Amino acid sequence: MLNASQLLLARNISKAMVRFHSHGGIPGENLPFSLKNRYKLTAIFTTFTVLGFGSPFLIVRHQLLKA
């Protein structure tokens, strides 16, 4: 059973979480990149997509040419 001090601690923690929580009402607020510049965002997205999708094929090609 919880005593009074544990209940008080739980209540204080929950109040702090509500008080300091960002409600995130702005789209893109919690992203690690900016959405302001459309062309920079497109370049970064394209770079990461091409590298992520193409890397396995380049690695297999390298291994086949090495053999």
| pLDDT: which is higher, 11 or 61 | 61
Kindly report, residue by residue over 25-64, the tens digit of the pLDDT: 777 777 888 888 999 999 999 999 999 999 999 999 999 9
User: What count of other Cβ atoms lies within 10 Å of the Cβ of residue 43?
Assistant: 11
Q: Which domain holds residue 61?
A: 4-65
Q: What are the residue ranges of helices labelled H in 1-67? A: 4-20, 38-66
**Which long-range CB contacts under 8 A does 18-26 form with residues at least 24 apart?**
none
Q: How many domains does the chain have?
A: 1
- What are residue 32's phi and psi, to 5 degrees? -80, 10
pTM of the complete model beyond 0.75: no
The string over 17-30, giving b where at least 16 C-beta atoms fall within 10 Å of a residue's C-beta and e elsewhere, is eeeeeeeeeeeeee
